[in-house]
Amino acid sequence: MENKTIRKSATVKVMLSYNYNHFEASIALENEDGLTVKDIDDARKDCNRLCDKAITQYQQAKTIEDKRTRLTSEKRQLEREVAEIKQKDKSAWTVTEKAKVKALDDHNWDLQWDYDDDWDEDDY
The 10s digit of each residue's pLDDT in 75-112 is 888 899 999 999 999 899 888 899 888 888 887 787 66
Domain ranges across the chain: 9-114
The 10s digit of each residue's pLDDT in 48-81 is 999 999 999 988 888 888 887 788 888 888 899 9
Q: What residues contact 23, with CB distance under 8 A and at least 6 apart?
A: 15, 16, 17, 51, 54, 55, 58
The 10s digit of each residue's pLDDT in 6-65 is 899 999 999 999 988 899 999 999 999 999 999 999 999 999 999 999 999 988 888 888
Query: Which pLDDT score, from 0 to 100, does residue 66 have?
Result: 81
